[in-house]
Amino acid sequence: MKTKVLIAVAVLALTLSGFAQEKEKRFGFEVSGGASFATSDLGDANLQLGFGGEGIFHYRFMPHLGVYAGWGYNAFSAENSFAGNEIDFEETGYVFGLQFKHPIGISPVSYYVRAGGLYNHIEIENTDGDIIGDTGHGFGWQAAGGVDIPLGRNWSLTPGVKFNSLSGDVNMEGTNTQLDLNYIQVRVGILKKF
């Protein structure tokens, strides 16, 4: 008899907690931007401080686990490189992955951790803004972490740090160059849950 009562209480508790989870919004759209810091040279180019941003959609399919997908852009410049002087390197493409988000203690603030992939390319532009080289799209990876600070009415501030890694080859004037773009991004974002 005690076993049946315990099972009934456990089922009731799980059912009630499931209803409580359903009140939280499952979808979200986040826009973030900020500074990017290259962790290594790109070919022979010493990259200067960069900037960029992302727009991503979120879908939470479990209480603390969800997926994300979207589009990102990052730009760096170099005074001297294999491609010439005063060259810009722009990485654009798609991001996707898993996100784990959990409240910090009993506060409304949560931390998040993301692990995912990139399907991006690196364009090389001269001072006139002409594209003089392109690696073509290829796969890379992304790891990120930060905090979700509720602002009210399903809005949150989402400061965080990301690391992106992408490799590709570019052929310029008959010379093939391997480009390994690795950088840290410091971002501040705004998230709308719906």
> Would you state the torsion angle of the CA atoms of residues 33, 35, 39, 40, taken in this order, to the nearest 10 degrees?
100
**Cβ proximity of 171 and 123 under 8 Å:** no
Q: Which fold has domain 25-193?
A: Porin (2.40.160)
Listed residue (157, 164, 84, 151) closest to 124, CA to CA: 84
What pLDDT shows up at residue 1? 52
Listed residue (75, 178, 176) closest to 129, CA to CA: 75
What pLDDT shows up at residue 3? 54
In a structure prediction context, what are the per-residue pLDDT tens digits for the chain, which is 194 residues long? 555 555 554 544 444 444 444 577 899 999 999 999 999 998 888 999 999 999 999 999 999 999 999 999 999 999 888 888 889 999 999 999 999 999 999 999 999 999 999 999 999 999 888 999 999 999 999 999 999 999 989 999 999 999 999 999 998 888 888 999 999 999 999 999 99
Domain ranges for the chain, please list them: 25-193
What pLDDT shows up at residue 19? 42
What pLDDT shows up at residue 20? 44
What pLDDT shows up at residue 83? 82
Name the token pair of 160.
């965080």
Tokens 């390994």, residue located:
180
Listed residue (132, 130, 127, 119) closest to 170, CA to CA: 132
Name the token pair of 86.
């005063």
Name the token pair of 3.
């076993």
pTM of this prediction?
A: 0.82
**Cβ proximity of 92 and 75 under 8 Å:** no
**d(C-alpha 41, C-alpha 45), whole Å:** 5
